[in-house]
Structure 1
Amino acid sequence: MPYMPVCMFVQTIRPKEGWQVYSSAQDADSRCICTVVAPEQNLCSRDAKSRQLRQLLEKIQNMSQSIEVLNLRTQRDFQYVMKMESQMKGLRSKFRQIESNRRTLLTINFQELKGKMNELQPLIPVLEQYKTDATLISQFKEEIRNLSLVLTAIQEEIGAYDYEELQQRVLGLEGRLRNCMNKLTCGKLMKITGPITVKTSGTRFGAWMTDPQASPKNNKVWYMDSYTNNKIVREYKSVSDFVAGVESRTYNLPFHWAGTNHVVYNGSLYYNKYQSNIIVRYSFEIGRVMTQRALESAGFHNVYPYTWGGFSDIDLMADELGLWAIYATNQNAGNIVISQLDPLTIQVLNSWNTEYSKRNAGESFMICGTLYITNSHLTGAKVYYSYSTKTSTYEYMDIPIHNKYFHMSMLDYNARDRELYGWNNGHQVLFNVTLFHIIKNDDES
C-alpha cells in the first residue's frame, strides 16, 4: 500500500475516500514540516486497485495456459488436415483412372476407394472440433486484448511499475514511515477512525489489552471478561491466537476486580480491587501481587462511575508519559481527578483536579499526558472535553467516535500501537487515532 507524503497544514488536507491524515508534524516555530496521508488500516490489506490488478493478471495467466493447450490441439488437427488433403488428391487420381477404364478396374478401384473413404471417416469430427477450437481461440484473443487495455489503464493510474516493484517500493515507504514516526514526539488528538472488529466474545462488559511497554516481538493479549465476580485473566501469545481462541496461559488473581478499567504496563496488571479504592499490581512473570495501595479519597463501588455504571469508579491507564489513575472525590465535588502513579509503588506522584463530572463521562483515555473524555457510552458519543496535565488547562472538543455496537464499557489508549482498544457490547474493537505532532530535533534529549 503506498503512502502519500505531502507538506501542508493538516487543516487543508482533503484526502481521497479511504485515506486519512495519519500524522502531521511541525517544528518548534509552528512551521509545517510534513503531513503523512495514508490508507485507513482496515483498507490497507485489500486495496481495490491492487486486488483488481492481481485478479486480472491471474486471469490472463489462466487464459494463456488454455490458449497454449488449444494451440497444441490445433497443431495436431492440422496434421490430420494435411493428411486428409493428400488422401483427397489420391482419390481424385483414382476417380480419373476409374473413368478411363471402368470395366477392368471398377471392382479393384471400388474396393480401394471404399477403404480410403473408411480412413477419411474419422477426420470428419476432427474437422468439426478444429472449427470449434478456432472459434474459441478467436474469443480468447479478443478477451485478452480487452483485459490488456484495462491493465494498461490501471498501470498508468498507479504508476509504470510492475507488481513486484510496487511491493518493494511499499516496503521502502513503510520503513521510512516507521523511521519518521520514531522521531515524532507527543501530539494532539485530531481524529478517531474505525472501529475494526477484532473478535466477538464474552459478555457485554469486559477488557482486553496489550502491554505498551513490551518489545515489538511481544504481542501478548490479556482478556478479562465481565466487570465483577471474576478473577480469571486469559493470556494469548498474539492477536491471531486471541482471535482463534488459543490460550497460552490463565491467571487466577487473588482478588476479584471491579469495573473494566484495568491496564497492563511493563509486565504487570494494575486493577481496582472489588469493593475498595485499592489498586493492585499483579506481576504476570512472578504470578503474585507485588504491591497494593489505597487511592486516597477516591470514590468506589458505583459512587462515581462512568455513565454506564459497572463499578467503573477508578480508571487505570497508561500513555507515553507513564501510568495514570482517573477517578473522582468528594473534595472535588465528584469531578474527575487525574493522578500520575509510580508504576512500582503505586504512590501518587502528582494530581490535577478537573471540572468535568465523572458521572457525566462515558469513557476516557490518556494520550501524551492529556485526558480525553467522551460524553456518552452510547451511540452518538464524541470526545467532548480534554485536560492537559502539562498546562493544567482544559478544552472543549468535538471529535466523533463511532460506537458501532451501541454500548462502550472500555476504551483505552495503547502508546506502542497508537490505537484505542475498546470493548463494544461484547465486541473487541480497535480504533485508529490521528495525532498532530511536533518534530523532535536530533540534538534534543
Structure 2
Amino acid sequence: MKPLFVLLLSTAWTLSAAQHYYQGLMDYLENRLLAIEDRMLLWHDESHRHHTEMKDLRKLAAEAVDTLKNHHGSLAKNLEGAAARVDRIEREMDFVESQTSPRACANTADKVVEQGAWGLQESRGEAEDEEWEEISSTVSDCVEIISGIRSVKILKRVGSPKGMWTRDPRSSKVYVFNGTSGDTVYQFSSVRDFSGSPGVEGSKPFRLPSEWAGPGSAVYNDYLYYVKQEADTDVQVVKYDLLAGEETETAIFPVESRATVYDLNPETVADLAADDEGLWLLYAPSDSEPSISLAKMDAATLDIEQIWDTRCPRENAEAAFVVCGTVYVVYNTRLASRSRVQCVFDVNDMVVSEEAPLLYFPRRYGAHASLKYNPEEKQLYGWDDGYQIIYRLTMKRKLLA
C-alpha cells in the first residue's frame, strides 16, 4: 500500500511540475505575441506617417514643378522678346547707318546687278528714286578709312559653308574658290553672270598646277596669288598668270606649318589681300604668337618689303582685310553672332585710336570664312555659310595723328 502511495504522490508531483512548466511556456509565448503585436502597431503607425509625409512631399514637388514650368515659360517668353528687340535694334542700326552715311560709289558695269535688290534702302522700295554716282576708281593719295557699311547684297548661295570669292578690279572677272582647299577655280566674266548662273554652271573652271590651301587667295591685276601647303611642308605664296595660264613666281614664307592666322577659321593658313597700295599678307609667325602679323609684298617678285606686328589678337578673329594700308580685323564668337571690326592697324600711323570705326556687320547666317576688298568698287566680297555677300562701304579721309 505504501509503495502505491509513493507512486501516486510522485505522479502528482510530476504532473504539477509539468503543468507549471507549460504554464510558464504559455505565458512566455503570450508575452512574445503581445510584443510582436506592439511592434506591428508601431510599424503600422510609422508606415502611415511615412505614407502621409510622402504624399505631402509629392504634393510639394508637384507644386514646385508647376512653379518651375511657369518660370520657364515666362523666361522663354522674355528671351523671345529680348531676341526680337535685338533684331529690331540691329535693323534700326542698319537703317540709321544707311540714312546717315554718304553715298557709295559704283561703276556702270555693275549698275544692272545693283538694281536687283541692293541693300537696306531698296528693301524699303526707295532704290527706284536713286541714281548711282559714277566716279573715278583711282585713289591718288590713298588717305581713306572706312566709316560704315552703306548697304548689303546677298547675291546667292553656292557651294560649301566655307570658301572665297572675289573680283579682279582690272578685268571685272569673278573668281570662286569653293571649300577650304583644292586645285580648281571657277571664273565668271562678271558679277552679273555669276549672279544669274545656277550654282557654278556657266563658269570657266580651270585647274591650278598645285592646290590652294585655305580661303586666303587674292586676285590682283590679272594675277592670282594663293597659298600653297602640302602636309607639314613650308608655306608658299604662288603667283599665277591668269591670262597665260601658268605659274610665274613662288616664294617660301616664314610661317610654321601648324600656325593659322584666324582662331575661328583654322583652315586659313595665311590670308592674301590686295588694295590701292598693292599686295599684303596676313599671317601668324608661330602658333604661340598671340597677334596677327602683316607683310607688304612686291606683287611682281613676291619679295617681302616690310613686316609689322599689328597687335591685333588672333583669338576670336574670323577674317581681315586691308584698305589703303589699314588692316581691319573682324571678330566673332564660337557660337556665331554679329561680326564686328574690333582692331584696326594703319601702317602709316595716320589713324588715331579715336578715329578707328566701330564697325558692325548686319547679322546674317554665321561667320565669315573670308572677306575680300575691291579697291575699285570700295566693296567687300564676303563668304558666309555658303552665301556670297557684297558689302558696300562708305569712306572718309584719315586724320593725321
Scaled to the shorter chain, the TM-score interval is: 0.5 to 0.7
Partner SS state of residue 213, structure 2: coil
Whether the 8 Å CA contact 2:226–2:272 is kept in 1: the answer is yes
Instruction: Verify: 1:348 aligned to 2:301, yes or no.
Output: no
Distance 1:180 1:293 in 2: 30
Aligned residue for 1:320?
A: 276
Q: Distance in 2 between matches of 1:401 and 1:260?
A: 20
1:143-171 alpha-carbon deviations (Å, 9 max, x no partner): xxxxxxxxxxxxxxxxxxxxxxx8xxx76
Match of residue 264, structure 1, among 197, 201, 219: 219
Matched ranges for 1:173-212 at <5 A? 174=132, 178=135, 185-212=142-169
TM-score (norm 1): 0.57
The residue that corresponds to 2:385 in the other structure is: 425
Q: Which has the larger radius of gyration?
A: 2
Q: Find 1:281's aligned residue among 239, 242, 261.
A: 239
- CA offset at residue 359 of structure 1? 3.8
- Equivalent position SS for 1:203: coil
Among 371, 392, 396, the residue aligned to 1:411 = 371
Q: Which moved more, 1:350-359 or 1:338-347?
A: 350-359
Contact 2:296/2:307 (CA < 8 Å) preserved in 1?
yes
What secondary structure, in the 3-state scheme, does the structure 2 residue paired with 1:240 have?
helix
| C-alpha distance 360-44 of structure 1, shift in aligned 2 (>3 A) | closer
Classify 1:223/1:356 alpha carbon distance in 2 versus 1 (closer, same or farther; 3 Å): same
> What residue number does 1:233 align with?
185
The letter of the residue matching 2:243 is E
Kindly indicate whether the alpha-carbon contact (under 8 Å) linking 1:236 and 1:248 is maintained by their aligned counterparts in 2.
yes
Q: Which residue number corresponds to residue 362 of structure 1?
A: 318
Residue 179 to residue 15, structure 1, CA distance change in 2 (3 Å) = farther
Q: Deviations over 1:362-385 (max 9, x none)?
A: 211101100011122631221001
Q: Distance in 1 between matches of 2:180 and 2:95?
A: 40
May I ask how many residue pairs the two structures share in their alignment? 284
**Structure 2 unaligned runs (5+)?**
1-93, 105-116
Distance 2:126 2:323 in 1: 35
Q: Secondary structure at the match of 1:256?
A: strand
Whole-angstrom distance in 2 between the partners of 1:239 and 1:45: 19
Q: Is the 8 A contact 1:184 1:437 kept in 2?
A: no
Matches within 5 A, 1:149-164: none
CA shift in 2, pair 1:21/1:267, >3 Å: same
Distance 2:95 2:158 in 1: 35
Q: Which residue of 1 aligns with 2:63?
A: none
8 Å Cα contact 1:227-1:310 kept in structure 2: no
Pairing 1:3-152 to 2, within 5 Å after superposition: 18-22=98-102, 41-42=118-119, 48=125
Task: Compute the displacement of 1:331 (Å).
Answer: 10
User: In structure 1, how many angstroms separate the alpha carbons of the residues matched to 2:374 and 2:137?
Assistant: 19
The Cα of 1:430 is off from its aligned counterpart by 0.7
- The one-letter code sitting in structure 2 at the alignment partner of 1:304 is T
Task: Provide Cα deviations, 1:164-198, integer angstroms capped at 9, x if missing partner.
Answer: xx8xxx76xx55x6269977843122212443111
SS of alignment partner, residue 294 of structure 1: strand
Kindly indicate whether residue 157 of structure 2 is the aligned counterpart of residue 224 of structure 1. Answer: no
The answer to whether the Cα contact below 8 Å between 1:387 and 1:394 also exists between their aligned partners in 2 is no
Supply the AA of the counterpart residue of 2:339: A
- Asked if structure 2 preserves the Cα contact closer than 8 Å seen for 1:326 and 1:337, the reply is yes
Structure 1 residues 346 and 392: alpha-carbon distance in aligned structure 2, compared to 1, 3 A threshold: farther
2:248 aligns with one of 290, 303, 317: 290
For residues 49 and 436 of structure 1, do their structure 2 counterparts lie closer, same or farther at Cα, with a shift above 3 Å needed? closer
Tell me: CA distance 1:422–1:179, structure 2 relative to 1, closer, same or farther (3 Å): closer
Structure 1 residue 50: deviation in Å?
7.9
- Kindly indicate whether the alpha-carbon contact (under 8 Å) linking 1:23 and 1:436 is maintained by their aligned counterparts in 2: no
Shift in Å at residue 242 of structure 1? 0.8
CA distance in 2, matches of 1:352, 1:399: 23
The structure-2 alpha-carbon separation of the partners of 1:221 and 1:332, relative to structure 1 and needing over 3 Å to count, comes to same
Q: Which amino acid letter does the alignment assign opposite residue 149 of structure 2? A: I
Distance in 2 (CA, whole Å) between partners of 1:204 and 1:223 is 13
TM-score (norm: length of structure 2):
0.63
Instruction: Give, as a single letter, the amino acid of the residue that structure 1 aligns with 2:361.
Output: I
Structure 1: any 5+ residue segments left out of the alignment? 1-13, 25-39, 52-165, 440-445
Cα distance in 1 for residues equivalent to 2:351 and 2:127: 47
1:382 aligns with: 340
* Contact 1:282-1:291 within 8 A present in 2 as well: yes
